[in-house]
Amino acid sequence: MMRPNPSEVWGFKSPTAPKGEIKWKYHLCIGCEAVFLFVSTHRVRREDHRGVMVIPNSEFDFLEPTETGRSEISCTTIIERKFPDNTVPRKNPCGTVARRLMKDLAHHVRDSKQLTEDERDAILDYILDFYGVGLW
């Protein structure tokens, strides 16, 4: 049975923020209960997008490189899926990120002034539930 594990990147359709349009996206699994964050192309903006962690494409070397050479993990939309899920393609996961990136993500979330307390607590709870406090 296909079931996501933390640190795996999966591709499937999900609602996009802020309009809620259903589009194909990549998602980083952060929790044992199929909890994900969006992974997308980093776009240079006049101001930083709230709750985004910018990373080099090399962190996702199993995905097509982006024009900017960077990708981003959005920490403001937490996506929960129920598995098994027949709408998720069987060609998953697309790849796995390094434990170090999950540690960097946890530090980014912990130190972010852009995330709400609820967003911060939820993401850290999911990550640390899998990795434990040894991740710090």
The predicted structure's pLDDT at residue 48: 59
Q: What is the pLDDT of residues 51-64, one digit of tens each?
A: 899 999 999 988 88
Axis-axis angle for helices 99-111, 117-131 (nearest 10): 150
Torsions phi, psi for 76 (to 5 deg): -95, -15
The predicted structure's pLDDT at residue 57: 92
Strand locations in the chain, DSSP E?
A: 8-15, 22-31, 35-41, 52-56, 70-80, 95-96
The predicted structure's pLDDT at residue 51: 85
- The position carrying tokens 């996961």 is 93
The predicted structure's pLDDT at residue 13: 92
- Pull the structure tokens for residue 26: 């990549």
The predicted structure's pLDDT at residue 100: 96
Q: Which ranges of the chain have pLDDT less than 50?
A: 46
The predicted structure's pLDDT at residue 39: 92
Residue 49 to residue 43: CA distance in whole angstroms: 9
